[in-house]
Structure 1
Amino acid sequence: MNKETTIVGVAALIIGFLLGALVGAKFMSGSVTPAGQQAMPQAGGAMVNPGQSAARIAELEQVVAKDPKNLQAWITLGNDYFDANQAQKAVQAYGKALAIDPNNANVLTDQGVMFRALGFFDRALANFEKANKLDPKHLQSLYNIGIVYAVDLKQPAKARATFEALLQKDQTSDLARQAREMLQQLPAAK
């Protein structure tokens, strides 16, 4: 093998490694969703080192143990469990927050997403509907209602009505774009 062939081979290997790392990073960050899964926007959004996340969760668990009426600590703990894919613990933490503030549309919606992750679609739907009733401008809960009807309950007519209602309230947001995409994926109305 000559020197040029070796250099080209090493360069190809390095490029392949870098491309693989880039694709892997996109998948781990959630910007790529596994095929066939409909994503719902996440609670916290920021990627956290698993070690830092565990330490922060432990710290928040101590805070709520000492101060069980600390609404913000319960919400943050729920969000951290959400981000760590600990759905059952997130549901419980959000439940504690809702015991303090039962009319928090954001917490109801986040808990609903976790109910959905656990396969409790009726409970998820109830949370999303309550959040949207409390705050009719809460588009995230309305979008999530449509997702449950479309993906989980296989009720395309109700999903279509929900996504159309969202588009009547908003035409320009990212949720409006996602609602239009979901409408295109639904079977034609009969």
Structure 2
Amino acid sequence: IETNPKDATAWQHLGELYLQGGDPDRAEECFNQVRLLGPLSEDSLLQLGESYAKGKKFDQALELFQRALAKNPKNPMIHFDLGYTYALQGQQTLAVAAYRQAVALDPKFLAAYFNLGESLKTLKDFPGAVQAYQETLRLDPKHAESLFELGEVYYQIQNPLAALQSYCHFIEVAGDRYKEEIKKAKETARSLGDCH
């Protein structure tokens, strides 16, 4: 960048590094520099949109995702990012539609299935949430977050046996980063009959 400040690719790579390093403000500065140097590529639109979403600039993020979508409506990541941004805004119905489009385009998109389950759970569409979490577990049977959330949903809909099984499986596979969830799962499992 020092030798060629008009190199949009270098600015984009620097923005990606800042984004990965957890500095969305500096990433945004770099992506804005890319924007000034010419039309943004689909990847640049996505990355800048992600930067805006992380900075809670949702309108700007959505506008960039829509522009990326106009360039490539078959990119499941764009639909995922739209869903994630809608969910952050509390627009769960729009999030569900975007996540469903993402998994329709990529049936192995684990994160989209999980987030779909989260949005459906928020909307109290428990059968839909169960189905989404089960799809996540079909792709990764040891996906700890899905096991825990599935236990939560089963508990809410008063299916104690399924809740107990989900919590027990979660406790088996959960690592150290799930301390609070493990504590809750153990307490709830004890109230349901305990894991054997």
> How does the TM-score come out when normalised to structure 2?
0.65
- Count matched residues: 142
- Answer whether contact 1:160 1:183 (CA < 8 A) is retained: no
**Match in the other structure for 1:183:** 186
Q: State the alpha-carbon separation in 2 of the partners of residues 102 and 82 from structure 1.
A: 20
Kindly indicate whether residue 150 of structure 2 is the aligned counterpart of residue 161 of structure 1: no
Amino acid corresponding to residue 138 of structure 2 in structure 1: K
Query: Pick from 120, 124, 133: which aligns with 1:128?
Result: 133
- Answer whether contact 2:151 2:166 (CA < 8 A) is retained: yes
Q: State the alpha-carbon separation in 2 of the partners of residues 47 and 71 from structure 1.
A: 19
Q: State the alpha-carbon separation in 2 of the partners of residues 185 and 54 from structure 1.
A: 40
Q: State the alpha-carbon separation in 2 of the partners of residues 56 and 79 from structure 1.
A: 11
Tell me the CA shift for residue 137 of structure 1: 2.3
Q: State the alpha-carbon separation in 2 of the partners of residues 161 and 179 from structure 1.
A: 14
**Match in the other structure for 1:172:** 176
**Match in the other structure for 1:104:** 109
**Match in the other structure for 1:71:** 76
The structure having more radius of gyration, on CA atoms, is 1
Q: State the alpha-carbon separation in 1 of the partners of residues 102 and 175 from structure 2.
A: 32
Q: State the alpha-carbon separation in 2 of the partners of residues 145 and 185 from structure 1.
A: 13
- Answer whether contact 2:168 2:185 (CA < 8 A) is retained: no
Tell me the CA shift for residue 47 of structure 1: 5.9
SS of match in other structure, 1:85? coil
More off after superposition, 95-104 vs 164-173 = 164-173
Structure 1 unaligned blocks of 5 or more: 1-45
- Answer whether contact 2:171 2:186 (CA < 8 A) is retained: no
Amino acid corresponding to residue 118 of structure 1 in structure 2: L
Answer 1 or 2: which has greater helix percent: 2
Bigger relative contact order, structure 1 or 2, given CA contacts below 8 A and separation 6+?
A: 1
* Correspondence list, 1:46-57, <5 A: 48-49=55-56, 52-57=57-62
Q: State the alpha-carbon separation in 2 of the partners of residues 130 and 188 from structure 1.
A: 25
Tell me the CA shift for residue 108 of structure 1: 0.3
Kindly indicate whether residue 87 of structure 2 is the aligned counterpart of residue 82 of structure 1: yes
CA RMSD for the aligned pairs? 2.2
Q: State the alpha-carbon separation in 2 of the partners of residues 179 and 59 from structure 1.
A: 38
- Answer whether contact 1:105 1:138 (CA < 8 A) is retained: no
Structure 2 unaligned blocks of 5 or more: 1-52
Q: State the alpha-carbon separation in 2 of the partners of residues 79 and 54 from structure 1.
A: 13
Question: Cα deviation per residue 1:133-154 (whole Å; 9 max; x = unaligned)?
Answer: 111121111111011012x212
Amino acid corresponding to residue 70 of structure 2 in structure 1: A
SS of match in other structure, 2:176? coil
Q: State the alpha-carbon separation in 1 of the partners of residues 103 and 175 from structure 2.
A: 31
* Correspondence list, 1:1-16, <5 A: none
Tell me the CA shift for residue 119 of structure 1: 1.6
Identity of aligned residues (%): 24
- Answer whether contact 1:60 1:73 (CA < 8 A) is retained: yes
- Answer whether contact 2:69 2:75 (CA < 8 A) is retained: yes
> How does the TM-score come out when normalised to structure 1?
0.67
